[in-house]
Chain A
Amino acid sequence: MTDKKYDAIIIGAGHNGLICANYLAKSGKSVLVLEANATVGGAACTREFAPGFKVSAGAQWLYQLNPTIVSDLKLIAHGLVYAAQDLDSIALNPNGQQHISIHGSHASGGDLSEQDAHQFAALQGQLLRFVRVLDRVFNRRPPKLIESDWHDKLTLARLGIDMKMLGKEDMSEMLRVGLINIYDLLNEHLDNPLLKGALSLDAVLGSHMGPRSPNTVFTYLYRLLGQHYRFNGPALLKGGMGQLADVLLHSAQHQGVEVRTNSAVITINLNADSAKSVTLGNGDTIVANSIVSNADPKTTFTKLVGLRNIEAGFSRRVQVIRMNGNAAKLHLALEGLPDFTGLNAQQTGARLLIAPDMKYVERAFNHAKYGELSPAPAMDISIPTVHDGSLAPAGKHVLSATVQYAPYALKDGWTEAQKQLAQKVAIDTIAQYAPRIKEQIRAAEYLSPADLEQQFNTHGGHWHHGEISLDQVLMMRPTPGCTQYRTPVDNLYLCGAGAHPGGGLMGLAGKNAAEEILRG
């Protein structure tokens, strides 16, 4: 037992954990962050996956980091440097030409009609107006609806006013499309199959949903928060996503936050209804006034608190949270810049999307529903070395891709053979767009959701620590009875992506949690 009693202990040095720690320390709290891995950052990390080749092993793009957090925590001053910003997303056409580029609300290229380009800009414009309303809700703790206090009532009143301020037409449209699927919405507005395919992928990335699953307009809006935060396209950080971790760490330490790596928390210790301390793998027990878990809710309650130590109704709620990941990561170390048909070298550094039409994405999802691998997966590809030479030896390149779908609960299990097969399918899929890529591969790594679970200590390997579906957002996130960053265990808080509003390197969960903890 170490003697010092902290105001707060944060379990897990993921970005939300560090952000939460930072805000708490800024308010004068003594904060200790405990990280199981050797490095901080969680899924915001840079890792060498082959000798000389480094990759953002978790999240590969930065596209919705909250600007308030960037300025509050002075992240630029602490060294946040972009390697590239506002990158185009290029929807790859299987015919090797007529690719379509998307930049913010503007789409161009290929066989995109003028009308579609116009319609797309109008649709994005309208959706961004909805996003502005959502952002105001995401910036605060989710309100309780019946047991609401003045703070919640204010949130609700503001939401009501914001909705009314949209005007009759926008408001009724938001109420209409808020709960439906991206497939129908895009079909209402657009004709071009390639553009629709790419946009639908944005709505389902990292989730267990297909374009036709109701709820996917909401997930699309969620992603559009990035554009609201003035990301007109994804960004890359110099040195990979690990830089974000370093910057957040630096900023936190500057505020006096103590961070210990290689310090896995084994248990959260309770005294009756209240969290008192944590015990580390080495047996040390550290006490604090508040214990804040950046781990996902299932890990927090199943492993750290123990389901037997909470009441059974809440245990039941934890057990039924849906958080099986459905996206894999593919990392390739390449001898040269891959030669994507129809793209020049600079374009190769854009965000490349394999989602030729919505049906393709939906069919890829079909397999995932049954615990099968998608034979033709949809992909989101990044070749960061186009912008950042520090990640690979000179002249060599790194390709990082999100492979959608790869179900966590694979029927045959994630055996080595299954992984090999999945990797082959993913590479074959890319090779249809970059035919010579196979000859360029020096090393390859495939991370299934099971691997992601293990590496990042997230149950199910889910990006968002819990499916972002409408039944698991706002006051249902992570689960009823555990909202507003508080839990049924007194002094135990959640600050991770499993809490409102969710993940995606946005940081709001960490920030909002800190505000709630400070509220006491």
Chain B
Amino acid sequence: MNELSALPQHTTQMMLHTPFHSRVVEACEINEWSAWQGYTTPSSYTNVEFEYFAIRSNTGVFDLTPMTKYRITGADAEAYLDRLLTRNIAKLAVNRVAYIVMCNDAGDVIDDGTVFRLADNEFRLCTQERVLDWMMWSAAGFDVEVIDETADVAALAIQGPTSCRVLRNMGFAGMENLKPFGMQTFEFNGARIMISRTGYTGDLGYEAWMAPEQAESFWDALFEAGKLRGIRAFGSEALDIARIEAGYLAAGVDFVPAEQIVRNGRGRSPLELGLGWLVDFNKPVFSGRKALLKQKEYGPRYRFVKLSVEGNKPAEHSFIYCRGKAVGTVTSAGWCPTAKTNVALASLEMPYGRPGDELEAEIYYMRELHWTRLMAKCTIITKPVWEPARRLQTPAPDA
């Protein structure tokens, strides 16, 4: 009862606002909102395409506060994460970030995300899904504390070729020297702000993590600093185009989080999502190890592929055929405006998707209430269609 008043945005309010909300509302001129983890977030601010091109050509800003964030501390924090995640966390240095997945014992992916090593015994895990239950069960036997800090940390993604310059303009000196997957703490307004060189767009970009009180002034300073660099806020639709172009997965879209699965066999392992490189079998124990070892030996059930799709009609929700047989489905698809190509991410049954397999996507599209069915040839591609060099360059290009 008393805790009721302690939580300012409790249940009496249908949707929560992020600490940037006052600024987001101002910028969101077309009122295209969507709900994300209980927060009101813009699908688009003004024009999806222009927002997208801000990411690729200038600086795009995305409010990612609703991402789930956990703080992991304690003497066993590293050992705990090594058991929780498939990657080797002992190899992760302080002030470094890693892309990770966590699996259940069956080897199915519960979620993906990023882990930040803040100190020897202190980490932040940032995920799309909520996974506290699994993390707490996993914590038994470890000297570790896990805290959900989602509402305590405001975060912005600042992405695009001019993003480094914009941040330097804000006074964050030495920004250009921050390596990909590195992070650094800066002074801002007398408070400390953490900036990591990470992102979900496949381009040069950063993510800034701060206390909610700093949010509005940071936003203001950021947009002031980026005024002459084409800075622009972007919503979830533009982000989705960018991440598909970069070939990144989305939880709940490209795979079903394992702990939420109702139908047996609908989970996907890292090996079945093209994420085998995240699994370190040299570790003696991590959840999913036994099942994944077995899968490695006997072969996974599915193959996850990136497809270049003939023509320009997005292959959303398409079945994929191989010589007339349905062998899988598209999980994400779209036209890539920078690469000027049509791509899809798809999950195929083994053994399909081998070199030489002739794949076709069954695409339905409508023009003026007229539906057309199209069988579009697909080519498996191994690299993302958009992979600019600046993404990995240090010092970062200072455009």
Interface residues of A (CB under 8 A from B): 270-273, 302, 306-316, 319, 481, 488
Interface of chain B residues 276 through 290 with chain A (CB within 8 A): 284-290
Interface stretch among B47-55, B136-144, B332-340?
B136-144
B291-320 CB contact bits vs A (8 Å, 1 = yes)?
Answer: 001000000000000000000000000000
Counting chain A CB atoms within 10 Å of each CB, the highest count among B76, B84, B134, B285 belongs to B285
- With A272-B284, A273-B290, A488-B290: A311-B141 Cβ-Cβ less than 8 Å: no
Contacting pair B104 A309 (CB below 8 A): no
B357 at the interface (CB under 8 A from A): no
Q: In the complex the two chains form, what is the Cα distance from A314 to B286 in whole Å?
A: 11
Contacting pair A308 B290 (CB below 8 A): no
- With A306-B141, A316-B137: A311-B284 Cβ-Cβ less than 8 Å: no
Q: A308-B285, A311-B286 given. 12 additional CB < 8 A pairs?
A: A270-B285, A308-B79, A308-B141, A308-B142, A309-B141, A309-B284, A310-B285, A312-B104, A312-B105, A313-B106, A313-B287, A315-B140
Contacting pair B137 A315 (CB below 8 A): yes
B70-105 CB contact bits vs A (8 Å, 1 = yes)?
Answer: 000000100110011000000000000000000011
Top 5 A-B pairs, shortest CB-CB distance? A307-B141, A313-B105, A308-B141, A312-B138, A316-B137
Nearest-neighbor residue (CB-CB) of A306 within chain B: B141
Counting chain B CB atoms within 10 Å of each CB, the highest count among A272, A302, A311 belongs to A311
CB distance from A198 to the nearest CB of B (A): 42
**Chain B residue contacts of A270, Cβ below 8 A:** 284-285
| B contacts with A, residue count (CB < 8 A) | 22
Contacting pair A312 B284 (CB below 8 A): no
Q: In the complex the two chains form, what is the Cα distance from A306 to B286 in whole Å?
A: 13
Contacting pair B140 A309 (CB below 8 A): no
Q: In the complex the two chains form, what is the Cα distance from A314 to B141 in whole Å?
A: 13
Nearest-neighbor residue (CB-CB) of A307 within chain B: B141
**Chain A residue contacts of B289, Cβ below 8 A:** 273, 311
* 20 residue pairs bridging A and B, Cβ less than 8 Å apart: A272-B284, A273-B284, A273-B285, A273-B293, A302-B141, A307-B140, A307-B141, A308-B76, A311-B289, A311-B290, A312-B105, A312-B287, A315-B138, A315-B141, A316-B137, A319-B137, A319-B140, A481-B105, A488-B105, A488-B290
Contacting pair B137 A309 (CB below 8 A): no
CB distance from B121 to the nearest CB of A (A): 16
Q: In the complex the two chains form, what is the Cα distance from A309 to B289 in whole Å?
A: 12
Q: In the complex the two chains form, what is the Cα distance from A30 to B142 in whole Å?
A: 36
Main secondary structure of the interface of A (DSSP, over half): helix
Q: What number of A-B contacts does a CB cutoff of 8 Å give?
A: 57
Q: In the complex the two chains form, what is the Cα distance from A309 to B106 in whole Å?
A: 16
Contacting pair B290 A312 (CB below 8 A): no
**Chain B residue contacts of A315, Cβ below 8 A:** 137-138, 140-141
Q: In the complex the two chains form, what is the Cα distance from A313 to B138 in whole Å?
A: 8
**Chain B residue contacts of A309, Cβ below 8 A:** 141, 284-285
CB distance from B51 to the nearest CB of A (A): 40
**Chain B residue contacts of A307, Cβ below 8 A:** 140-141
Q: In the complex the two chains form, what is the Cα distance from A309 to B137 in whole Å?
A: 13
B258-270 CB contact bits vs A (8 Å, 1 = yes)?
Answer: 0000000000000
Q: In the complex the two chains form, what is the Cα distance from A481 to B79 in whole Å?
A: 24
**Chain B residue contacts of A481, Cβ below 8 A:** 105
Contacting pair A308 B137 (CB below 8 A): no
**Chain A residue contacts of B140, Cβ below 8 A:** 307-308, 315, 319
**Chain A residue contacts of B84, Cβ below 8 A:** 312
**Chain B residue contacts of A314, Cβ below 8 A:** 105
**Chain B residue contacts of A273, Cβ below 8 A:** 284-285, 289-290, 293
Nearest-neighbor residue (CB-CB) of A313 within chain B: B105
Q: In the complex the two chains form, what is the Cα distance from A95 to B213 in whole Å?
A: 77
Q: In the complex the two chains form, what is the Cα distance from A229 to B30 in whole Å?
A: 81
Nearest-neighbor residue (CB-CB) of A301 within chain B: B141
Q: In the complex the two chains form, what is the Cα distance from A314 to B106 in whole Å?
A: 10
Nearest-neighbor residue (CB-CB) of A490 within chain B: B290
Q: In the complex the two chains form, what is the Cα distance from A307 to B104 in whole Å?
A: 15
Contacting pair B142 A311 (CB below 8 A): no
Nearest-neighbor residue (CB-CB) of B84 within chain A: A312
**Chain B residue contacts of A271, Cβ below 8 A:** 284
Q: In the complex the two chains form, what is the Cα distance from A315 to B286 in whole Å?
A: 12
CB distance from B291 to the nearest CB of A (A): 9
**Chain A residue contacts of B286, Cβ below 8 A:** 311
**Chain A residue contacts of B80, Cβ below 8 A:** 308
Q: In the complex the two chains form, what is the Cα distance from A311 to B286 in whole Å?
A: 6
Q: In the complex the two chains form, what is the Cα distance from A195 to B358 in whole Å?
A: 77
CB distance from B67 to the nearest CB of A (A): 23
**Chain B residue contacts of A306, Cβ below 8 A:** 141
Q: In the complex the two chains form, what is the Cα distance from A310 to B137 in whole Å?
A: 12
Q: In the complex the two chains form, what is the Cα distance from A316 to B106 in whole Å?
A: 14
Q: In the complex the two chains form, what is the Cα distance from A488 to B286 in whole Å?
A: 13
Nearest-neighbor residue (CB-CB) of B134 within chain A: A312
